[in-house]
Chains A and B, each alone.
Chain A
Amino acid sequence: MTRWMQFQLFWRSFFLQAGWNFAKYQNLGLAFVMTPFLRSVYKQDKNDLPSVLERYLESFNTQPMMASFCFGALARQEERMAQAKTLAEYRERLSEWNSLKRSLSITTASLGDRLFWGTLKPFTLLLALFIWLALNINFFEPTPQRGLSCLDVFGACIVVFFAFNAVALFVKWKGISLSYDAPNNGCFGLTQFDWNKTIYNTKLFGMLLALGLLLGGLYYFLHDLASFLGLQFITRAIIVLFFVSISLMTRDLRIPNMYLYIAAMLVFNIVYLF
């Protein structure tokens, strides 16, 4: 695959989910991403393109950042199909293509969800919160402080943006060539990275950061109160303890945070009113 073709797949991969729907998920996006490659493979037989596109318009769903592994592997298999000499060989490769599309999309979705949504997104959030606390920005108060500079606010945003996208774009770009060039027994380039170790180490570091932030936040929330036995201190300490323990308990019951907040809003309003 040429660099230009890899770039075209990479660029179009940003629109993989453009037509996301509940019947065939990312089918429109997959066909859109693969079109330049299919055109180059079938440039001698342009009449074949609609029937090939029909296969790509079948159901497809995976994690968008890890989808690049599917693009490379499908491109490689498509080339093999175009080179088939007999009908039996073509049918065999077509069946391989179908099972590859199904199995690889499930594997990459599972890895991508854990890596990007389950680990990297909360990790970069922690990073931003740490930067803002270090800059002395108090985001805990309901009436926030005024007079912030753009640099204070956007510095952490830029760090988060680049930290997340550096990993995402690297995986998107590298995944295409790795899976395209992978040998037949190479698991489509997926084994080039130790995904489990990466996720484990990031989670370990994230756990320490999260605990540090919880304690740091607690200190920040309470340290400037005049007396440890004052009403304001006790009220704040009760709020923190109550919601932290409720939040930890509801994790096991799988109750989302937003319902907890909506419930708190309703209960407090009813209690205060009556």
Chain B
Amino acid sequence: MTQVLLICIVGALLELDTTYAFQFTLSRGIIAGPLLSLITGDLMAGLQIGIFTELIFIDISPLGGLLPPSAAVCCTLSLALCSLGIPTYFAFFFGVIGSVLFSVCEVIVRKNRSQWLTRQEHIILKRPPYLSFVVVKALGISFTMTLAFLLFYSAVMGSSFARLLPFLPEKLHLASKFAYMAVPWIGLATLVSIFRLKTR
């Protein structure tokens, strides 16, 4: 459980890099996956989940107000579930579902943040140095909410699926492996169409 907690803390910090701070692309699947796998010790699982995450989300970009599922959240949840003993092909599926749910939660948070910020702006206009404090507070709130989501999802999904796992028929394992095997091919074909020359 300590390992899951550690993965979630690092994952929540990496998630800040997606939008709120720095944007050094440390939250990209191909970087976040291997980084998080340093905690689990299974470098290959981290690398594979990282690559698959990046390939599966490569066709959705954060344009305008669009909020794509977070690669950092997907890697964190997948590796947290892996460390709870769930096979990679199931963990990745729940990671993808979790990151889609997270983006829905994020939309709600951002809508509510508008109201919170309107109240903060009144204070900023009276005391301009308060602005830096609001930025730190916004980052702190984002980190806390992401961490809470990651912990809740990993705990609920991890414990319930781990109990279900021994009763799953072998056929379901085969089918899930089969779908998991398709991910790199879906992604690689997408890359070809992403580079279609439309400019100039």
List residues of chain A with CB under 8 Å of any chain B CB.
Answer: 14-15, 17-25, 27-29, 31-32, 35, 49-50, 53-54, 57, 61, 64-65, 109, 113-114, 117-118, 121-122, 125-126, 128-129, 132, 137, 139-146, 148, 150, 153-154, 156-157, 160-161, 164-165, 168, 196-197, 199-200, 203-204, 206-207, 210-211, 213-214, 217, 239-240, 242-248, 251, 256-258, 260-262, 264-265, 268-269, 271-273
Q: Please determine whether B183 and A261 come into contact, CB atoms closer than 8 angstroms.
A: yes
Beyond A142-B89, A265-B175, list 8 extra A-B contacts (CB 8 Å).
A19-B117, A20-B110, A50-B125, A128-B30, A129-B51, A242-B182, A247-B189, A251-B59
Q: Which residues on the A side are within 8 Å of B125 (C-beta)?
A: 50, 53-54, 57
**Residues from chain A with Cβ under 8 Å of B111 in the complex:** 21-22
A150 and B58 in contact, given A246-B186, A251-B193 (Cβ under 8 angstroms): no
User: Is there an interface contact between A28 and B96, defined as CB atoms closer than 8 Å?
Assistant: no
Q: CB distance B110 to A261 under 8 Å?
A: no
**Proximity bits, B60-97, A CB within 8 Å = 1, else 0:** 11111100010000000000000000001100010011
Instruction: Please determine whether B134 and A28 come into contact, CB atoms closer than 8 angstroms.
Output: yes
30 contacting pairs across A/B (C-beta < 8 A):
A15-B20, A15-B21, A18-B135, A19-B113, A23-B118, A53-B128, A61-B65, A118-B61, A121-B28, A125-B55, A132-B47, A132-B51, A137-B44, A139-B184, A144-B44, A160-B28, A160-B31, A161-B25, A200-B197, A204-B197, A206-B194, A207-B197, A214-B188, A243-B186, A248-B189, A248-B193, A251-B193, A258-B56, A261-B56, A271-B175
User: In the complex, which range does the number of interface residues on chain B fall in?
Assistant: 35 or more
**Residues in chain A near residue B172, CB distance under 8 A:** 269, 272-273
Among B42, B97, B183, B195, contact of A207 (Cβ-Cβ < 8 Å):
B195
Q: Check if A113 sits within 8 Å of B128, measured CB to CB.
A: no
Residues of B within 8 A of A18 (CB): 20-21, 135, 138-139
Is the pair B23, A210 in contact by a Cβ cutoff of 8 Å? no
Given known A-B contacts A21-B117, A118-B61, A265-B93, A161 and B195 have beta carbons under 8 A apart? no
B158 on the A face (CB < 8 A) = no
Q: Knowing A125-B30, A273-B172 touch, does A117 contact B61 (C-beta < 8 A)? A: yes
- Consensus secondary structure, chain A interface: helix
Q: Which residue of B is nearest A145, CB measured?
A: B44
A-B pairs under 8 A by CB, number: 268
Contact assessment for B22 and A261 in the assembled complex, using a CB-CB cutoff below 8 Å: no
Q: B40 interface residue, CB < 8 Å from A?
A: no
> Which A residues lie within 8 Å of B62 (CB)?
117
Whether A61 pairs with B110 at a CB distance below 8 angstroms is no
Is A197 within 8 A of B200, CB to CB?
A: yes
Closest A-chain residue to B74, C-beta based?
A258
